[in-house]
């Protein structure tokens, strides 16, 4: 059945109510680990459990706007147009199983956000608590948010392979080692420092030199490192692939 025909013949209000929400998988790197923003639910159902930040779309806003607003409400930061200007937001997927919310039919459009070390969240008026959780030791999540989060993590890991988005987790300028740390943290595997260095500098447009170096060597020694900023490439070519895992292929 086509939209227009439906609408021509029925009063929308007479149809079973469907609500649309956005849920945001917001990732950042803090304390050496990959973390996701979670809020503790104050109300039933799943009161007391942790959940992804999200909420209903408003009548006048587009989906990406709703996602940026929900994220801003929890972190105080805005998206690409905002003051920080360095948050990447992209649509992830939609979930609409009839029983995913026990009260009514809710279709959730999920978004994935990356950003460099974000500040502590401020609990919104509607959330009992909000904080960054290591993705390695997650609490039980409300609704199907565990599935959404797993999808977001897999997307983030994949995106590092063929886009320069790892730079979105780093500061304005960064060293090759810091960038390698981003990859190692998100992928959870150690990388060969020499090969990584060679690769980053050989991919056109990934990074560009600032001409500067760090003020001092590393905390435990080592020479000063050259500083880079994100380049103008939108896709990495050739891609920077994760070590292949056989179980992932079959």
Partner DNA sequence: ACTGTTATTCTCATACTGAGATTGTCTCAA
Partner DNA sequence: TTGAGACAATCTCAGTATGAGAATAACAGT
Closer to its own copies by Cβ: residue 77 or 203: 203
Give 54's strand partners.
23
Do residues 74 and 65 touch, judged by C-beta distance below 8 A?
Answer: no
CA distance 220 to 28: 25
Instruction: Give me the least distance between CB of 198 and its own copies, in Å please.
Output: 19
Do residues 184 and 157 touch, judged by C-beta distance below 8 A?
Answer: no
The 204-233 site mask, x for binding its own copies (CB under 8 A), equals xx--------------------------xx
Identify which of 38, 55, 40 has the alpha carbon closest to the alpha carbon of residue 152.
38
Identify which of 7, 99, 1 has the alpha carbon closest to the alpha carbon of residue 45.
99
Q: State the residues that interact with DNA by CB under 7 A.
A: 175-177, 192-195, 197-199, 201-202, 213, 216-226, 238-241, 243
β strands within the chain, DSSP E: 18-30, 33-40, 50-51, 54-56, 88-95, 105-115, 129-134, 173-174, 207-213, 226-230
Instruction: Give me the least distance between CB of 161 and DNA, in Å please.
Output: 10
Which of its own copies, DNA, none sits in contact with 106, Cβ below 5 to 8 A by type? its own copies
**Tokens representing 130?**
């909000």
Instruction: Give me the least distance between CB of 230 and DNA, in Å please.
Output: 16
CA distance 168 to 181: 13
Asked if 71 is part of the footprint of its own copies (rule: CB under 8 A), the reply reads no
Neighbours of 103 (CB within 10 A): 8
Do residues 160 and 240 touch, judged by C-beta distance below 8 A?
Answer: yes
The 108-147 site mask, x for binding its own copies (CB under 8 A), equals -x--------------x-xx--------------------
CA distance 242 to 157: 9
Asked if 61 is part of the footprint of its own copies (rule: CB under 8 A), the reply reads yes
Which of DNA, its own copies, none sits in contact with 247, Cβ below 5 to 8 A by type? none
Instruction: Give me the least distance between CB of 163 and DNA, in Å please.
Output: 15
**Tokens representing 91?**
């649509």
Which of DNA, its own copies, none sits in contact with 213, Cβ below 5 to 8 A by type? DNA
Which of DNA, its own copies, none sits in contact with 229, Cβ below 5 to 8 A by type? none
Residues found near its own copies in the complex (CB under 8 A): 1-8, 12-13, 15-21, 39, 41-47, 51, 53-57, 59-63, 91, 93-98, 101, 103-107, 109, 124, 126-127, 204-205, 232-235, 237, 244, 248-250
């Amino acid at each position: 059945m086509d939209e227009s025909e439906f609408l021509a013949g029925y009063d929308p209000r007479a149809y079973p109510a469907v609500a649309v929400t956005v849920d945001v998988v917001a990732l950042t790197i803090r304390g050496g680990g990959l973390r996701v923003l979670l809020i503790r639910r104050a109300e039933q159902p799943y009161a007391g459990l942790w959940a992804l930040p999200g909420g209903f779309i408003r009548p006048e806003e587009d989906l990406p706007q709703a996602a940026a607003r929900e994220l801003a409400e929890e972190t105080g930061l805005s998206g690409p147009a905002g003051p920080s200007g360095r948050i990447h937001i992209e649509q992830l997927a939609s979930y609409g199983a009839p029983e995913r919310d026990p009260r009514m039919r809710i279709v959730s459009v999920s978004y994935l956000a990356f950003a460099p070390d974000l500040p502590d969240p401020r609990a919104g008026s509607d959330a009992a608590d909000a904080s960054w959780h290591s993705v390695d030791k997650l609490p039980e999540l409300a609704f199907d948010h565990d599935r959404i989060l797993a999808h977001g993590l897999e997307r983030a890991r994949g995106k590092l392979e063929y886009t320069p988005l790892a730079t979105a987790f780093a500061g304005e300028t960064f060293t090759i080692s810091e960038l390698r740390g981003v990859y190692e943290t998100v992928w959870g595997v150690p990388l060969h420092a020499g090969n990584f260095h060679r690769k980053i500098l050989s991919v056109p447009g990934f990074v560009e030199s600032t001409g500067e170096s760090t003020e001092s060597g590393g905390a435990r020694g080592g020479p000063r490192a050259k500083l880079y900023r994100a380049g103008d490439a939108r896709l990495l070519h050739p891609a920077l692939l994760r070590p292949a895992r056989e179980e992932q292929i079959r």
